[in-house]
Structure 1
Amino acid sequence: MADPFDLSIPAERWLWKKDTLKDPTILQSFAFDEANEHLYVLQLTRGGSTAGDLCLNRLDLRGKRLGHMYLRGFGHGVSMGVQHTSDGTVWIWTEADAKGGYGRGVTRFRFVDGAVRTREDVKVRHPIPGSTHNQPSVCPVSRRIAIRHRVDDKPRYRIWDLDAFVARDYSEPVADFPQTGAHPDPKVPFQGYALHGDHLYQLAGTAYDARTNPPAKRGNVHVSCLDIRTGRLLDRQRTEAGHSLDHREPEGLAVRHGSEPRLCLGLASGQEGARRFSIYYKPQTA
């Protein structure tokens, strides 16, 4: 199983101030298709927050946009996942069936450049009846899927074997535990997570603010790690990655797999209506 990342290692810059996303809004989350060397990025469309309208971008690994599609009524885009099947099909996992801007379930679909999908076009799964804010993350190493969700407005994680989940067998989750430890200040917004082996990584923080989060202090962004076998917080570190960016809002966490795994975190910058995105990463070893 995958070794944990050392969160104390300084993050390194990978993509810097890219303006290649289809919509002029910030990124919300991202995930990698390693086999085809693609980077998928979710955005809320301008004015689409209440309805849960998303734009899904497909980029190459230099940040050039290769295509996009729109997802109407899906959710907020806090996390996403990519799944490869034995026949070579690439499935994109996102939240779905939005109410109040957040998904009450999840779904998977194939990327089709220029397409528009609505909740009626996909098969929505509701693995946790009555839950809200359903947000998926896929780990290709362990072949598991995590669903962050809320029950009685309290955030939790539930994790399944991916094959069982695809078969709609939700009866025996691998893990089920409450979200904890994302930030020293529990009022600071959660900004994304990623499942990797027996560990789950979380991102939390806010954009720069002259009064409450000034650039001179290099921000309040924290990355944390939970052990899915116990739900226990193993580590939490503040990161100064991209501290010179203006705005600098943390958005999205994902793992690049392969011979040199990387824990990647997204940062939004730029003025409203002309946002850019940067991605930094922490290697698995120093």
Structure 2
Amino acid sequence: MTERFDLSVPAVRWLWKKSLHEGTVLQSFAFDEAHGHLYALQLAPGGAESGDLCLNRLDYEGTLLGHMHLQGFGHGVSMGVQNAADGTVWIWTEAAAENGYGQGVTRFRFFDGATRTGEDVAIRKPMPGTTNNQPSVCTASQRIAIRYRLDGRPRYRIWDLDAFVARDYADPVADLAQTGLHPDPAIPFQGYALYGDHLYQLAGTAYDEATNPPEEHGNAYLSCLDIRTGELVQRQRTEAGHSLDHREPEGVAVRHGGTPWLCMGLVSGAAGARRFSVYHKPQSGQPS
């Protein structure tokens, strides 16, 4: 059983002002624990409407090891990594972009320098009638979550990963509404991660002198939902990385090695030359 992260624990800096292949912002990231790799998604330049993404592979020092392009996949809101029993590493992302967001999900292998389109991956649409499907994989519980919209409202549905891979969608573990994201409902969602019986969410905007001035250290919030009850367990403002310029929160992921970390991405730098930093909150033994 996984313990819950206490969001009031101060965040610790891990990676600082690292570069991705493109100069655009980090959108989401996930860990390949078996091989010590960090995978990160970003929009390709000019790819917001078409859903064109760049997938990066880095080591745990933040050194770029390779990249590939994903044409027509989505916005990169979330992603997951699956280490299969046969040693295959599968990358899960949204797919089948419409208006810039994926309307299904897919998994594929990473090949440096390759380009993938919707025609050469198997696209899954486990919930007909929904839109904006975005995956997160928990390797600790071997589950997958899909964030989706039904009648325009965001929700989460969670399955056993083996069942989902087998396209058995009939018996989900949980289905719950997205709630408790931020005290201000107008502040945008910036990512989520599934870990055990909890979902961790991120919301916030970049610094703006009029609405989110740097001297106030930002409006980013982390929150936690219990998937068993659908209730908001905790919500906490974070000032992590407040000295960064721009400082836009982007992406949440869990690193399991040793003491698990709840990781949060922060974007900095000028447009066209964005950098990313990662801060983490170590697990502190909160009851599940």
TM-score interval, smaller chain: over 0.9
Residue 120 of structure 1 is matched in structure 2 by 119
- Residues 173-210 of structure 1: CA deviation (Å, up to 9, x unaligned): 00001100011111100000000000000000000000
Residue 227 of structure 2 is matched in structure 1 by 228
Residue 106 of structure 2 is matched in structure 1 by 107
Residue 153 of structure 1 is matched in structure 2 by 152
| Distance (Å, rounded) in 2 between the aligned partners of 1:15 and 1:142 | 26
Residue 5 of structure 1 is matched in structure 2 by 5
Tell me the TM-score normalized by structure 1: 0.99
Matches within 5 A, 1:266-281: 266-281=265-280
Residue 197 of structure 1 is matched in structure 2 by 196
Residue 23 of structure 1 is matched in structure 2 by 22
Q: Give me the CA root mean square deviation.
A: 0.7
Secondary structure of 1:259 counterpart: coil
Matches within 5 A, 1:30-109: 30-109=29-108
Structure 2 letter corresponding to 1:5: F
Residue 14 of structure 1 is matched in structure 2 by 14
| Distance (Å, rounded) in 2 between the aligned partners of 1:259 and 1:242 | 24
Shift of 1:259: 2.3
| Distance (Å, rounded) in 1 between the aligned partners of 2:156 and 2:283 | 23
Structure 2 letter corresponding to 1:152: D
The answer to whether residue 244 in structure 2 is matched with residue 252 in structure 1 is no
- Residues 96-131 of structure 1: CA deviation (Å, up to 9, x unaligned): 000000011000000000000000010000001121
Matches within 5 A, 1:137-148: 137-148=136-147
Shift of 1:132: 1.0
Over 4 Å off, 4+ runs: none
Unaligned residue ranges in structure 2 (runs of 5+): none
Secondary structure of 1:13 counterpart: strand
| Distance (Å, rounded) in 2 between the aligned partners of 1:274 and 1:177 | 38
Tell me the TM-score normalized by structure 2: 0.98
Secondary structure of 2:167 counterpart: coil
| Distance (Å, rounded) in 2 between the aligned partners of 1:269 and 1:7 | 23
Secondary structure of 1:117 counterpart: strand
How many residues are matched? 285
| Distance (Å, rounded) in 2 between the aligned partners of 1:149 and 1:128 | 9
